[in-house]
Amino acid sequence: VVPSEDAHQSEYVSAGDKRREWVSGFSGSAGQAIISKTAAYLVTDSRYWLQARAQLDPNWHLITAGAVDAPKDWIEWLVDRAKDTKVGIDARMISHEKATRLNTQLSAKGSKLIFPPQNFVDLCWKDKPPRSREPVFIQSIEFTGREASSKVAEVRQWVRSQPPAVIPYSKSPPTPAQAHVGTLISSLSNIAYLLNLRGSDIPFNPLFYAYLFISIDRVILFLDAAKLTDDVEDYLRAHKIQRRDYNDIWPFLRRREWGEGRLLINAETSYAISLMLTHFRYTVVPSLVDNMKAIKNEVELEGLRRAYLRDGAAYVRWLAWLDHKIRQGYDITEYEAAWRLTEYRRQNKHYWGLAYENISASGPNAALPHYSPSKSNARMIDRETPYLNDSGAQYRDGTCDTTRTVHFGRPTQDQSEAYTRVLQGHIAVDSVIFPEGTTGSQLDVLARRSLWKDGLNYLHGTGHGFGSFLNVHEGPHGFSSNVPLVPGHVITNEPGFYLEGKWGMRIESALCVRHVRTKGEFNGDIWLGFERLTCVPIQTRMVKENMLTKEEKQWLKDHNKKCLERLEPYLKEDKRALKWLKREAERGIGIAGPGPGGITIDWD
């Protein structure tokens, strides 16, 4: 089995960790290659079926996980076929949770997982890119709002509070070997968050390869010396953090250098670590740091508000440029449009890079939720179908993720109806008020309800958490998650609709969970709602006014007016963008129908 992940279970990986892409030719961010002596299979979900069909050569069979009558995921597919078999995988590349689940199911079929001492793909991959030597840098308190020492102290307090791992019903007092003495953290974003450090080891993500050990009396960072600057060395010394080489993690675990006692790890830790520790030496618990990182403090929220304003201004300048060019009759490719937006973002204060690959799609390409154009195969942006752009930037004060869908001609009845349904779902989520204890998955239906009325739907999630200059996808909350939403959580709101082979649309804004005052205040001050961070107008041309309620029409007008008020100061130098933004904010909803004799005039 060749998974997509690296040894830290990262969603996005560095060039040298793209083993599954190298062996299969499929470049999507999710999927597993499974290779037997006689055949090769690629298992991936609905976001990537069309892309995989295009990229895989005839040696490969595509397994469409999640389709009707198909397996749910690669584990189900594998277990279904395994009988008295050995299944090989690099133990570093699979999480503890997946490996234990897979082992249990395989043993029922007389099969088992085995872990070759060397990675087979690495043995074949002759020109494998080397590990990044880019330096680590400090993310200062003006952006984080909290010192690393205070975060580490909270982790230590949590370690102390964990009860010893005694055998149930045991009468004897706990032994020192059963006490919890530390934790090992392998998630790269959690290490970066805890230590207020960032790096450049993975494209689009300001992360660096490391492991972090925290016990009651010491902190060890396993990080290669080549990545240190004098500033970072001084910083580690000042925070009493010991540094050892990245690969020293294995002898450290083998020799049990922390002495007696057990370590706390979470289910996403690589299985190689739990194998090295043996089950007497670790306890699997939910990650504390995931929750700490997900709840943004006021400094982080203020940073995100500023980042989304600057990013919104760049997005508006670009939309005005694109609209102008297309009206003048120029042909613009999806690739050129995406490149130009990146250039506008690059001029922004605190810009560090893109947050993920630009999704810039027209016509049938927009029906692929994760399509990214390349220079050689990009389509021209046409005037008959919606154009979808989902992109975002990494700024030192926040990670941005925005999607807008626009039409440069006269939308068809089907396009307008679908777009209006998507917008209604977007508004329903944005304006919901809910009591404490409500989870994202309980709100998910609001985004789909209007689409369902017309028998429409989308197969991806409605939204995810995102980082404060960290990963663009962050947990544990989200609209597919059973984690209750709390003030300080940030989350995207992105319903869509995709007509395969024809067109697609999505509207995405970033939200922040806040306390709200309600009229009834039933049960006290427990009511929550969303504050919108994204500041980019929503095009009204594709909206069918007669499908909207009075409240929905008002929401749309208010949103576009608010964008004008807030972005005007950022656009003083760009007359074209300001004119375009004013027009969008003051424009009516929909598009005039044909007049006598079928003549159509677009006044704007």
The pLDDT tens digits for 152-180 are 999 999 999 999 988 877 788 888 899 99
The predicted structure's pLDDT at residue 121: 96
The predicted structure's pLDDT at residue 169: 78
Give, in order, the Cα–Cα distances in Å from 600 to each of 328, 407, 564, 595.
Answer: 19, 16, 29, 6
How many Å separate Cα 583 from the centre of its chain? 33
Q: How confident is the model at residue 90 (pLDDT cuts 50, 70, 90)?
A: very high
Torsion from C-alpha of 543, 549, 552, 557, nearest 10 degrees: 70
How crowded is residue 17: how many other Cβ atoms within 10 Å of its Cβ?
A: 23
Helix (H, G, I), strand (E, B) or coil at 495: coil
* 408 within 8 A of 533, measured Cβ to Cβ: no
Q: How confident is the model at residue 38 (pLDDT cuts 50, 70, 90)?
A: very high
The predicted structure's pLDDT at residue 603: 53
* 59 within 8 A of 40, measured Cβ to Cβ: yes
- Helix (H) or strand (E) segment spanning residue 456: none
* Helices 334-346 & 298-327 angle (0-180, nearest 10): 140
Give, in order, the Cα–Cα distances in Å from 210 to each of 11, 91, 136, 198.
Answer: 16, 17, 11, 11
- Helix (H) or strand (E) segment spanning residue 587: none
Mean pLDDT of 92-102: 95
Q: How confident is the model at residue 370 (pLDDT cuts 50, 70, 90)?
A: confident
pLDDT tens profile 116-149: 999 999 999 999 999 999 999 999 999 999 999 9
* Degrees to nearest 5, angle at CA 244 with 281 and 99: 40
pLDDT tens profile 443-469: 999 999 999 999 999 989 999 999 999
Mean pLDDT of 310-332: 97
Mean pLDDT of 44-68: 91
pLDDT tens profile 238-275: 999 999 999 999 999 999 999 999 999 999 999 999 99
Q: Which of 21-25, 409-413, 599-603 has the lowest mean pLDDT?
A: 599-603
Query: What tokens appear for 217 in the block?
Result: 């009396």
Helix (H, G, I), strand (E, B) or coil at 149: helix
Q: What are phi and psi of 55, to 5 degrees?
A: -95, -25
The predicted structure's pLDDT at residue 279: 82
pLDDT tens profile 382-392: 999 999 999 99
Cα separation, 402 vs 2, whole angstroms = 32
Domains of the chain, earliest start first: 15-124 (3.40.350.10), 137-166+175-290 (3.40.350.10), 298-586 (3.90.230.10)
* 287 within 8 A of 187, measured Cβ to Cβ: yes
The predicted structure's pLDDT at residue 595: 60
| DSSP of 412-451 | -HHHHHHHHHHHHHHHHHHT--EETT-BHHHHHHHHHHHH
How many Å separate Cα 98 from the centre of its chain? 20
DSSP structural state of residue 363: G
Backbone Cα Rg of the chain: 26
* 474 within 8 A of 356, measured Cβ to Cβ: no
pLDDT at 208 over 80: yes
Cα separation, 295 vs 512, whole angstroms = 10
How crowded is residue 67: how many other Cβ atoms within 10 Å of its Cβ?
A: 13
Cα separation, 160 vs 182, whole angstroms = 9
The predicted structure's pLDDT at residue 174: 87
Helix (H, G, I), strand (E, B) or coil at 205: strand
Q: Is cis: bond before 386, omega within 30 of 0? A: no
Tokens 């609905």: give the residue: 46
Give, in order, the Cα–Cα distances in Å from 519 to each of 186, 199, 516, 529.
Answer: 46, 47, 10, 14
Higher pLDDT residue, 322 or 278? 322
Q: How confident is the model at residue 504 (pLDDT cuts 50, 70, 90)?
A: very high
Q: How confident is the model at residue 604 (pLDDT cuts 50, 70, 90)?
A: low
End-to-end CA distance of the chain: 56
pLDDT at 599 over 80: no
* 230 within 8 A of 237, measured Cβ to Cβ: no
